[in-house]
């Protein structure tokens, strides 16, 4: 009888109804992210391989990218590892990553489904998306289901 509430919680985690509350702990999710990055991302970019949702910390990370500590050409691989090959565009859209005030249309949503689009260069419009890295990471974390 006590199993039912836990099961219902697991079934609804990571959904709009639960505000995309992640199903997995940050510790486990970061281990999955890091192990994927160990395979596909050069070591100098591993600082990007965590589900960081604090906006000031994400800005520090992006500053390191800007200083060329990690080539932007690895962005697709980092996002692929973050998503664990899952399409998280619904979460990103529900959290307004395609809001009209951002003035980039649905451009940022491609970072929420990196398996569908290789991101090989960054344009001026993409900078807006990168400044919302915390939202992208939150949605990718929310997209992971218990193993």
pLDDT digits (tens, 9 = 90+) for 44-100: 999 999 998 888 888 888 888 878 788 888 988 999 999 998 999 999 999 999 988
Question: 34 and 57 in contact (C-beta within 8 Å)?
Answer: no
Residue 74 to residue 118: CA distance in whole angstroms = 10
DSSP code at position 48: G
Kindly report which listed range (107-111, 112-116, 131-135, 143-147) carries the lowest average pLDDT score: 143-147
Residue 76 to residue 11: CA distance in whole angstroms = 29
């Amino acid at each position: 009888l006590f199993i039912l509430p836990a099961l219902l919680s697991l079934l609804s985690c990571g959904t709009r109804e639960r505000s995309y509350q992640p199903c997995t702990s940050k510790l486990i999710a970061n281990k999955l992210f890091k192990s994927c990055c160990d395979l596909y991302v050069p070591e100098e970019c591993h600082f990007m391989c965590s589900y960081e949702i604090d906006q000031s910390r994400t800005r520090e990370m992006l500053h390191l990218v800007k200083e060329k500590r990690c080539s932007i050409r690895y962005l697709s691989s980092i996002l692929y590892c973050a998503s664990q090959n899952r399409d998280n565009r619904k979460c990103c859209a529900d959290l307004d990553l395609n809001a009209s005030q951002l003035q980039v249309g649905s451009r940022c949503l491609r970072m929420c489904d990196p398996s569908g689009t290789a991101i090989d260069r960054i344009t001026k419009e993409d900078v807006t998306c990168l400044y919302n890295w915390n939202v992208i990471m939150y949605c990718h974390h929310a997209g992971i289901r218990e193993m």
